[in-house]
Chains A and B, each alone.
Chain A
Amino acid sequence: MKRLSLMLGLVAATAAMQSCKMKTAATAVQGDAASKTYVAPGKYDEYYNFVSGGFNGQVSVYGLPSGRLLKVIPVFSVFPENGYGYSEETKAMLNTTNGSIPWDDQHHLDLSQTNGEQDGRWLFANANNTPRIARIDLTTFKTMEILQIPNSAGNHSSPFITENTEYVVAGTRFSVPLGSEDVPISSFKENFHSTASFISVDKNSGKMDIAFQIVLPGMNLDLSHAGKGPSHDWFFFSSYNTEQAYTLLEVNASQKDKDYIVAVNWKKAEEYAKAGKGKKVSAPYAHNTYDEHTQTATSVIENEVLLLDPKDCPDMVYMIPCPKSPHGCDIDPSGEYIVGSGKLAALIPVFSFSKITKAIGDKQFEGDFKGIPILKYESALYGEVQKPGLGPLHTEFDGRGNAYTSMFLSSEVVKWSLKDLKVLDRAPTYYSVGHLMIPGGDTKKPAGKYLVAYNKITKDRFLPTGPELAQSAQLYDISGDKMQLVLDYPTFGEPHYAQACAASLIKDKQVKFFDINKNKHSYVAMGEKNAKVVRQGNRVDVYMTAIRSHLTPDNIEGVYVGDEVYFHVTNLEQDWDIPHGFAIKNNPNAELLIMPGETVTLKFVPEKQGIYPFYCTDFCSALHQEMSGYLRVSPKGANVPLKFGTGETAETVAAK
């Protein structure tokens, strides 16, 4: 109770501090800020910034330093712009063991790495609610693979990766019973578990597979990061609710002074898995992949996973006490320092990997948590940053020996030195900052020029738009001794974590069009000559082509009410940035956007007779408006023969 009132006191004090900062918001920006973010028309940004979309389930791509929104990539959400999740080719991407789930909560992102440096190949994204991990190809900005995670709930501490992208992890936020047994909630301590799933990534293709799951005591895993350099073999997860509460967590999960950072030796885990120390259990999960040659996604239900129990696998998992309800768990570029951020703690503990190794060797334990050894706090600790601010959440690094921590409660970014743990600078945010991002700031080679703070609550930054306001991202120049706020801009959804890399790493690898001759889609129309309409029972397949500026066929008759009509539209263009759209009147499905050289399918089941115009929805040429056609739908049983064509008129037919 005393603790609760202390916390309330902290919150009140913080509110007062916030209101002071509000007054200084306008003066925080100095005169030359605009020139630092101005990217002239025709010039490119220096960085691609990939930002999680939070509750919109998407990923947005911004240019830095301009803050211009370049693209929204649909990952865990259906998307009206291009028919993702609606087109027949992409429906399977959103399949799960509970059927299609066309929405999720997308929290964190990680760019693939080689030797601890960004390699610009893939971007990984997590779905928090129905646990899933996605892989996005950075040559096309398309979601290529989505893997469901069984034995998990609230897939929060993911998708963090190891130094060579050997593994992507998925750690549970909500502990749940493994399998589908029916147990009382009050049996949490006996029956509920958290799991850390290790997903292997194929070096060449990027294909993901669940290699093994480590079963941990019931608690909440929050964030994680892989070690690097000397700590290469390890993965670190922050945890809270080691009290194992299952009701009123805001009080009951804040009882203990310290929770744990869970240190997992994944190399050892890998060896145990290979040595058969694990147990294969039944656990159905969906594995969805998009084939770039057939341009079609398939969903396969996999049936089992390999569970590793720390009891059977000595030296695989250790607990490191960390004050208090730690959120971030961030590893510095050297791989030696592990920064835990207790969101309810008034200090930042920094652990030393070499001390951790020594403590394990010397068995400096202070007990165990459900059989997992707990290291002595002092024996693992490098030191504490004193009075950094309130509510430390997440830390990134600039590669020059400095760390930057976001302070949720006191709404600021605090810069401190890894060497002596002294606070060097602080800059206000507006307000309630969550994650921070420095391009490469979680790799061996950060580009310490910019820092972006992603704010969770935004009270007065932009023109008001009703009760919900746009969240804001704030860009700081961190190249000098003092951080300088240079720009803020609204973001899409509620961003959590983000990643950024030099534009040069991926800009020149962009796919400009798909080679039509390599199109292996089952319903491709290879040239207009092959455009046709085929009926089989009540299924009608339209092999349609699109090129500036007509669709072929553009007159179709002999389709009946209740038919299942599939429009397979092949874009015959071979030119950068000439997609064609396809939409048909009254279709309750969606519309399509077809990239040059690609085939995409729209299903349409007409419910009423009539003439249904269809057209290209993406402005493609001066004669774009003319790119249209008609489908005639006749009553069921009508005697209208199947007929299709382009350029045929009553006159030309009569002349024949």
Chain B
Amino acid sequence: MKKQAMFLTAIAAVALLVYSCGSGTPPPAADAPAADSSMTAPAQASSQTPTDETKGMGKFAEVKLTDPLDQTMVTSGKSTYEVKCAACHKLSGEKLVGPGWKGVTERRKPEWIMNFVTNTDEMIDKDPAAQAMLQECMVRMPNQHLTDDEARHLLEYMRANDGKK
């Protein structure tokens, strides 16, 4: 029974995606489904939006990485993870609500990660990789309103989780 419900939900979600993709432009705000947070405040694309598609959309065009890891940032990132992210993301590769974090810094560019966690709605609406993830997970990632610093610290924590030194 539950499986069936999930399957139906999946069809509905895919249908929505097809609808929004098919029109060539994002759906107008008034047509968005009630649970879709994109209707409340359209994300503002910054002038710094990267031109490289693999970097996603948002204000982070260039992220400078540290070498070695900044342990202060790692610690701060961990505490943000525990409050705002752990409900849905495991540190292993296993999917919970969202994908597991293991290897995420290999799969995605740092800019993509920073843009995704801070500009969530626009990324889910427009970025092909983010849209593919939505089809898999069936739940839009909540915009957790991370500050730029929180996002950066989280990235550092992800890198530590991926074994970077």
From B29, B35, B82, contact of A624 by CB (8 A)? B35
Count of CB-CB pairs between chains A and B under 8 Å: 84
Contacts of B88 in A (CB 8 A): 547-548
A574 near B9: Cβ-Cβ < 8 Å: no
Given A42-B28, A526-B83, A621-B35, verify A574-B142 contact (CB < 8 Å).
yes
In the complex, the answer to whether A572 meets B29 with C-beta atoms within 8 Å is no
Q: Tell which of B13, B29, B83, B96 touches A622, judged by Cβ atoms closer than 8 Å.
A: B13
- Determine if A527 and B82 form an interchain contact, defined as CB atoms under 8 angstroms apart: yes
Grouping DSSP codes into helix (H, G, I), strand (E, B) and loop, the B interface class, with mixed when no group exceeds half, is loop
- Enumerate A544-591 residues with CB–CB distance to B below 8 Å: 545, 547-550, 552, 572-578
A339 within 8 A of B: no
Given A528-B87, A550-B97, A622-B13, A575 contacting B145 (CB threshold 8 A): yes
Most chain B CB atoms below 10 A, which of A512, A548, A622: A622
Q: Is B20 an interface residue (CB 8 A)?
A: no
Q: How many Å lie between the Cα of A623 and that of B9 in the bound state?
A: 7
Q: Is B41 located at the chain interface by the 8 A CB criterion?
A: yes
Known contacts A42-B28, A575-B37, A626-B6; is A621 also within 8 Å of B87 by CB? no
Instruction: Tell me if A346 counts as interface (CB < 8 A to partner B).
Output: no
Q: Is A465 an interface residue (CB 8 A)?
A: no
Q: Of A526, A529, A577, A625, which is within 8 A of B5 by CB? A: A625
Q: How far does the Cβ of B35 sit from chain A's closest Cβ, in whole Å?
A: 5
Chain A residues bordering chain B, tally (CB within 8 A): 33
**Cα distance A529–B83 in the bound complex, in angstroms:** 8
Set of chain B residues within 8 Å of A619, measured between Cβ atoms: 34-35
**Could you tell me the distance between the alpha carbons of A512 and B144 in the complex, rounded to whole angstroms?**
12
Contacts A527-B87, A576-B37, A624-B35: A547 and B82 contacting too (C-beta < 8 A)?
A: no
Instruction: Give the docked Cα–Cα distance between A573 and B145 (Å).
Output: 9
B46-68 interface (Cβ within 8 A of A): none
| B145 partner residues in chain A, CB cutoff 8 A | 513, 515, 574-575
Using CB atoms, name the residue of chain B closest to A545. Answer: B87
User: In the complex where A575-B144, A575-B145, A622-B139 touch, is A516 in contact with B83 (Cβ < 8 A)?
Assistant: yes
Binary CB contact string for chain B from 1 to 42 against chain A (1 if under 8 A, 0 otherwise): 010011001001100000000000000111000110100110
Q: Which listed residue (A512, A515, A552, A575) contacts B87, Cβ 8 A?
A: A552
Interface residue from A41, A529, A548, A622 paired with B82 (Cβ < 8 Å): A529
CB–CB A548/B97 < 8 A: yes
Bound together, the chains give a CA A516 to CA B2 distance in angstroms of 32
Say whether A35 faces chain B, with CB atoms less than 8 Å apart: no
CB distance from B80 to the nearest CB of A (A): 9
By a CB distance below 8 angstroms, the chain A residues around B41 are 576
Q: Which chain A residues (39-57) contact chain B, with CB distance < 8 Å?
A: 41-42
- B72 adjacent to chain A (CB < 8 Å): no
Q: Give CA–CA (A60, B145) in the complex, Å.
A: 30
Candidates B6, B86, B142; contact of A578 at CB < 8 Å: B142
Residues of B within 8 A of A621 (CB): 35, 139-140
Any chain A CB within 8 A of the CB of B143?
yes
Check: A620 CB closer than 8 A to any chain B CB. yes
Which secondary structure dominates chain A's binding surface? Answer: loop
Q: Roughly how many angstroms separate A503 CA and B86 CA in the complex, as a whole number?
A: 39
- B35 close to A572 (CB less than 8 A): no
Distance from B121 Cβ to chain A, minimum over Cβ atoms (Å)? 9
A572 to chain B, nearest CB (A): 6
B35/A41 in contact, CB under 8 A: no
Asked if A180 is at the interface (CB within 8 A of a chain B CB), the reply is: no
For B41, give the chain A residue with the smallest CB separation: A576
Q: Are B34 and A575 in contact (CB under 8 A)?
A: no
- List residues 126-155 of chain B with CB under 8 A from any CB of chain A: 138-140, 142-145
Closest residue on chain B to residue A41 by CB atoms: B30
Most chain B beta carbons < 10 A, residue from A41, A513, A574, A575: A575
A549 and B97 contacting across the interface, CB-CB below 8 Å: yes
CB A509 to nearest CB in B, in angstroms, measures 15
Q: Chain A contacts of B97 at CB under 8 A?
A: 547-550, 623
Q: Could you tell me the distance between the alpha carbons of A528 and B89 in the complex, rounded to whole angstroms?
A: 11
A42-B86 in contact given A574-B143, A576-B41 (Cβ < 8 Å): no
A572–B87 CA distance with the chains assembled, in angstroms: 9
Measured CA separation A422–B34 after assembly (Å)? 53
Is A639 in the interface zone, CB < 8 Å from B? no
Q: Is A517 an interface residue (CB 8 A)?
A: yes
- CB neighbours of A550 from chain B (8 A): 87, 97
Q: Do A622 and B86 form a contact, CB below 8 Å, given A575-B37, A576-B40?
A: no
Q: In the complex, which of the residues B2, B6, B28, B87 contacts A547, with contact meaning CB atoms closer than 8 Å?
A: B87
Please name all residues of chain B whose beta carbon is closer than 8 Å to the beta carbon of A577 when the two chains form the complex.
37, 40
CA distance A624 to B138 in the complex (A): 11
Bitwise interface map of A from 617 to 642 toward B, beta carbon under 8 Å scored 1, else 0: 00111111110000000000000000
In the complex, the answer to whether B12 meets A574 with C-beta atoms within 8 Å is no
Give chain B nearest CB distance to A323 CB in angstroms.
Answer: 54
Which of B12, B82, B87, B97 has the most CB atoms of chain A within a 10 A radius of its CB?
Answer: B87
Q: A527-B84, A623-B9 are in contact. List 11 more A-B contacts (CB 8 A).
A: A515-B145, A527-B86, A548-B139, A573-B142, A574-B142, A577-B40, A578-B35, A619-B35, A622-B13, A626-B5, A626-B6
Q: Which 10 A-B pairs have CB atoms at the shortest separation, nearest pair first?
A: A527-B83, A574-B145, A574-B144, A527-B82, A547-B87, A528-B87, A575-B143, A42-B30, A41-B30, A576-B40
Q: List 25 A-B contacts (CB under 8 A).
A: A42-B29, A512-B40, A517-B83, A526-B83, A527-B83, A527-B84, A527-B87, A528-B86, A547-B142, A548-B142, A574-B143, A574-B144, A575-B144, A575-B145, A576-B41, A577-B40, A619-B34, A619-B35, A620-B35, A622-B13, A622-B139, A623-B97, A623-B138, A623-B139, A626-B5
Which A residues fall within an 8 A CB radius of B? 41-42, 512-513, 515-517, 526-529, 545, 547-550, 552, 572-578, 619-626, 647
